[in-house]
Amino acid sequence: MDSYRGGWIEIIAGGMFSGKSEELIRRLRRSVIARQRVQVFKPLLDDRFATHEVVSRDERRLKALAVATSAELLGSVEIGVQVVGIDEIQFFDAGIVDVCMQLADAGIRVIAAGLDQDYMRRPFGPMPALLAVAEEVSKMHAICVRCRGAAHYSQRVSGGNTQVEVGDSSYEARCRPCFEAYKASQEEEAAVQLTIPQPV
Ligand SMILES: [Zn+2]
């Protein structure tokens, strides 16, 4: 934001297809143009697109370092960095909240994008705490595929009942009246069961 001075936390939250990554890239680009030192991170598990880039659906991209944990992220922040961008922050461990606080307290502007809810409309991972501690929150909306209203939900339409289901084709943007709780078909349930590692 234009009022930003010194460290703070801003969160770009919303469902899938709501333009979160585009907005994150837009804000980070402005910092780059202003010749600020910017570092971008994303969780290691998200391999839908290039591993070392944040890529929005409109193909804009920024270099990003994929890290496995919040501790690894903190340890990877270089001296002199003024802005830290984090994409898909909902997939990080709970320690990411404290990491964001530490970075902001140290004078760094933290800009993070993430899903606020999962496909069952449950608050996603560390997002509730991040929304609470952030100076600024932007709630993004997609367009409902049913009625063209403002869509707040990522409706799962296939793919089983795991929370981490990263294929875009398994989801539709839906508004509150059009949202329907997803029930996996028996075939899909069987497929999901096969992917869960069995104890030895
Ligand atoms: Zn709708």
Task: Specify the pLDDT at position 168.
Answer: 78
- Ligand 1 centre to CA of 173 (Å) is 8
- Ligand 1 centre to CA of 130 (Å) is 28
C-beta of residue 91 within 8 angstroms of C-beta of residue 45: yes
DSSP state of 156: E
CA separation, residue 47 to residues 67, 113, 167 (Å): 12, 16, 10
Nearby residues of 10 by Cβ (< 8 Å), 6 or more positions away: 1, 4, 27, 109, 110, 111, 112, 134, 135, 136, 137, 138
Burial class of residue 12, CB neighbours in 10 A (0-12, 13-18, 19+): buried
Low-confidence ranges of the chain (pLDDT < 70): 1-5, 46-60, 162-166, 184-200
Superfamily designation of domain 8-140: P-loop containing nucleotide triphosphate hydrolases (3.40.50.300)
Task: Specify the pLDDT at position 48.
Answer: 53
Q: Which of 88, 135, 136, 187 is catalytic?
A: 88
Active site residue 88: yes
Task: Specify the pLDDT at position 166.
Answer: 57
- Ligand 1 centre to CA of 129 (Å) is 28
- Ligand 1 centre to CA of 182 (Å) is 16
Task: Specify the pLDDT at position 103.
Answer: 98
CA separation, residue 178 to residues 25, 92, 158 (Å): 30, 29, 16
Residue 114 Ramachandran class (φ > 0 left, ψ -120 to 50 alpha, else beta): beta
Number of helices and strands (H, E) in the chain?
A: 5, 12
Pairing of strands 65-67, 38-43: parallel
